[in-house]
Structure 1
Amino acid sequence: MNTYNLDGRVAIVTGAARGMGFAVAERFLKSGASVTLWDLNETALSDARQKLSQFGDVHSDSVNVADFTAVKTAAERVKQRCGQIDILINSAGIAGVNTSLADYPLDIWNQVMQVNLNGIFHTCKAVVPHMQNNGYGRIVNIASMAGKDGNPNASAYSVSKGAVITLTKSLGKELAREGITVNVVAPAVIETEMLADVTEEQINYMLAKIPMGRMGTVKEISSLVSWLASEECSYSTGAVYDLSGGRATY
């Protein structure tokens, strides 16, 4: 496996107990970074830390990204322990439900927005000042092709991911002269545990739009994210990187 040089870098990965976040954390550790895993599921988080400990310096913290106070406090703990924060990967997210907009439950709509959108706002708000103090940072947000195309019967998820793309573009421009890059990855269907919350009809709809005719893998996600989080990615910010098997049309 090819790795990018992340020696001495300190990374936070949200949603790291499983799926894309776990794969990214593993790749970072193998590339020399110190990684702190953030997730809300304490049991899964403990298991993830145990599995990843063989690869390097890994820590974990149960953090609800929808709660800014909790996020800010957890970021301070990373800073105190490691002395700096260089990399932030926002992969925490939920799918919501598959139903028409007219029938979409208000509580689930608000929950999706709190986690998928506000969660990224919270982590960036808490971590960016630390990066500014050091004059260096790499932020990678995970959105979705749904944020560009809009999937039917997935209005909350589509809206939240579209907003993540716009937030990334805005913050990337804000920090463009401070040594901090902010980019976003927009995957199509990736084979993760989140698909358990999505109907077979919805999965088939998304697969039918992919010219390659298959799901992406977390390994493919971690490869792209590792480059975006490295020093080698120095002239790209506010950009959207599709990982869609050919689905992307713009």
Structure 2
Amino acid sequence: MPAIHLRLLSRLWAGSPNLLILLPLILPSAVSAAASAPAAARQDPHAVQQAVLSFLQMQSIGLPGEVEITSGTIDGRLALPACTALEPSLPPGTRPWGNTTVMVRCTAPHSWTIYVRATVKVVAEYLVSTRPLRQGQVIDASDLTSRKGDLTQLPPGIVTDWNQAIGRTLGGNLPFGSPLRQDMLRAQTAVIQNQTVKLVSSGRGFSVSAEGKALTHATEGQPVTVRSASGAVVSGIARAGAIVEVTY
């Protein structure tokens, strides 16, 4: 017989021997009630993993290519109390791709926090050089080819869109087979200083054009000053083909 029952018998005998008559009725009921008491509910690890996956899927919206997300396992020995309000977030300084960590907080009915490891792959085509390219070179389609891989394992800012590269000027040397980065691209010069340019101005019902000489360099879309044939200095917006749009 367990020690607690022996102590109970001793007290009952000392206080009132007649109560021992009731023991066969009391003890089975007490033991049955203790055995039927529900254990404290524990948090399902799979629910935490699903919260992490859903959170990272939201963070991955807009990324190019195919996104593959896997969540690390959660040690079942943690025996966390069941939670009805899981709040995943990224710790400060953490990226939502590659090998990452998600912080999961329980806000109700208990309070606890765990960190779950996860991996986010972004598989897409990106651009690499087909030959050694020099700084200042204007990129055309023959200079590049596409390659498929996990962007999270490459330097940030990898170019995946051909339209972002063709016609742009290379800001540095690019060895053969190297990925093209956005920070290496420069807008092509549309107007060169002392170049003869075409001044164009248009409005409702009219269009005027004249020649002038550019006083500064400018890439497409940048402001530029031009001296007209009459000697007047005007400002406009540089466009490809040595054209300057002037608005009066």
TM > 0.5 between the two? no
Highest CA radius of gyration, 1 or 2? 2
Higher RCO, 1 or 2 (CA under 8 Å, sep at least 6)? 1
TM-score by length of 2: 0.18
Structure number with the higher strand fraction is 2
Structure with the larger helix share:
1
